[in-house]
Amino acid sequence: RNAVLGDTIAKLLETQGFDVTREYYFNDAGRQMRILGESVQAHYRALVDPAHGRKTIEAAGGQQLEVPESFPEDGYQGDYILEIAEALREREGDRLLDEGDVDVFKEAAKERIFEEIGATLRRMGIEMDSFFNERSVYESNAVWDIVERLRAKDLAYDQDGAVWFKTTAFGKEQDTVLVKSSGEPTYRLPDIAYHIDKVSRGFDRIVDVFGADHIATFPDVLSGVQAMGHGTDHIEVVIYQFVTLVRGGEPVKMSTRKATYVTLDDLMDEVGEDVTRFFFLMRSPNTHLEFDLDLAKEASEKNPVFYLQYAHARIASILRKAEEVGFSMSEDAPMELLTHDAEESLIKELMRYPAVLSRTAEAFEPHRLAVYLREVAVAFTQFYGNCRIIGESPDLASARMLLARATQSILASGLGVLGISAPDRM
């Protein structure tokens, strides 16, 4: 949902004349990456050393799973971990058997997973302009520089072995931990460093797309940016709620760590790229999304994607049939002949398109465009059901054909902004 929302918001802003940079920020530092590396390392050792011990752990659904003896607590259990380890064995043989640096395995996992993320994004029609990795703010020492600068401003202090940020100076009810007593930074610290980097690049506007789990942390990040002397009025934050897949009326249970999940590729294999994108966009980002897999596969008016694409294809069919019977449409047909209520209603809907695009882009809420396109499709259905095209006088037929073509153009344009195809045949 994050990727589709961000990409569509970028497309909307481009319709308003903005030059947009799409940037992917990926977390490749911290405890979870270390656990990922340790999980791969354990499987690699078991593959190259048959004497490596085994143990049993609890997997999804309470099932027992046999893993290598050195497999970490809370390790990642998916088959993809074993696949990464197998690829590493094929490439390195047993050379890494005594390798104590988990970073080697972490990098191998990151490289493989990131390649797959890129391929999935491209399949969704999403092309990133730049990638920013969390590790870079550690390598540049930016995170620790922020801590020292906050100390110098009397905005950071030590307590109970941790480093605290005086967010109370920015209106918060209590201060916030930046560095845990273990010495590990919380997510806020690298996020502050990343945002300072973004601000320093001179963008007129910055749009962050965050999951609902960032609601409590992003105000602290903005406070950190302000504490470093930067303005934040041009930073916009879009918070989206999470997605539940529903099949047969029941939620599909998932757990990343226990490897019970449906990947985005799995979802696209089942329902298609267009349906996947549209379903992620058809509700307000602030609304929890129930992705109904059964509805997504329906070829009926109940399926909102099918309904819109069918409307576009239907108009294309009308235009083809008119050409087949030798109808010649006049480009300067007298549009004043369109006086039927259904014609006027459709015209009014089409005239709203520029304003809808503008307001949708301003609000960062792509679902507004999705709702509007359905209203256009409904208005066209009513028009076509009440107003015969071929068989009327040439002037009236031409005017109605022009109205149909204008509807097709707006449906195609709007679907394009949403990143969805507009087929001529279905």
CA-to-CA distance for 410 and 413, rounded, in angstroms? 5
Structure tokens at 102: 């988990």
Rounded-to-integer distance, Cα 358 and Cα 362, Å: 6
| Cβ pair 276, 267 in contact under 8 A | yes
Residue 27 belongs to what H/E stretch? none
| Tens digit of each residue's pLDDT (9 = 90 or more) over 246-277 | 999 998 877 655 556 788 999 999 999 999 99
Which pair of tokens denotes residue 338? 């369109």
295, 294, 319: which is closest to 307 by C-alpha? 295
Q: Minimal CA–CA distance to 34: which of 131, 92, 107, 134?
A: 107
What domains are there in the chain, each with its CATH number? 1-22+130-240 (3.40.50.620), 31-124 (no CATH), 243-297 (no CATH), 304-418 (1.10.730.10)
Average pLDDT of the residues in 212-241: 95
User: What was the pLDDT predicted at 260?
Assistant: 63
In this predicted structure, the answer to whether residue 395 has a pLDDT above a threshold of 60 is yes
Report yes or no: 164 and 172 within 8 Å, Cβ to Cβ: no
pLDDT tens digits for range 116-168? 999 999 999 999 999 999 999 999 999 999 999 999 999 999 999 999 999 99
Q: What is the mean pLDDT of residues 83-98?
A: 89
Rounded to an integer, what distance in angstroms lies between the CA atom of residue 126 and that of residue 132?
16
- Ramachandran angles phi, psi of 216, nearest 5°: -80, -25
Residue 348 has pLDDT above 90, yes or no: yes
3-state helix, strand, coil in the chain (%, to 5): 55, 15, 35
Amino acid at 248: G
Summarised one tens digit per residue, pLDDT across range 37-83 is 999 999 988 888 877 877 777 765 667 777 888 888 888 887 889 89
| pLDDT tens digits for range 271-305 | 999 999 999 999 999 999 999 999 999 999 999 99
Residue 189 and residue 27 in contact, taking contact as beta carbons nearer than 8 Å? no
Closest CA to 10 of 132, 120, 128, 123: 128
- Type of residue at 323: E
Distance (Å, rounded) from C-alpha 72 to C-alpha 83? 17
The CB density around residue 93, as the number of other CB atoms within 10 Å, is 10
**How distant, in Å, are the alpha carbons of 11, 12, 176, 291, 306 from that of 19?**
10, 11, 36, 32, 32
Tens-place pLDDT, residues 405-417: 999 999 999 999 9
- Stretch 307-316: mean pLDDT, rounded? 97
Cβ atoms of 133 and 283 within 8 Å: the answer is no
Number of Cβ within 10 Å of residue 371's Cβ equals 16
How confident is the model at residue 73, as a pLDDT? Answer: 83
Calculate what percentage of the chain has a pLDDT beyond 90. 75
Helices (H), 166-217: 188-200
Beta pairing class for 176-179 and 162-165: antiparallel
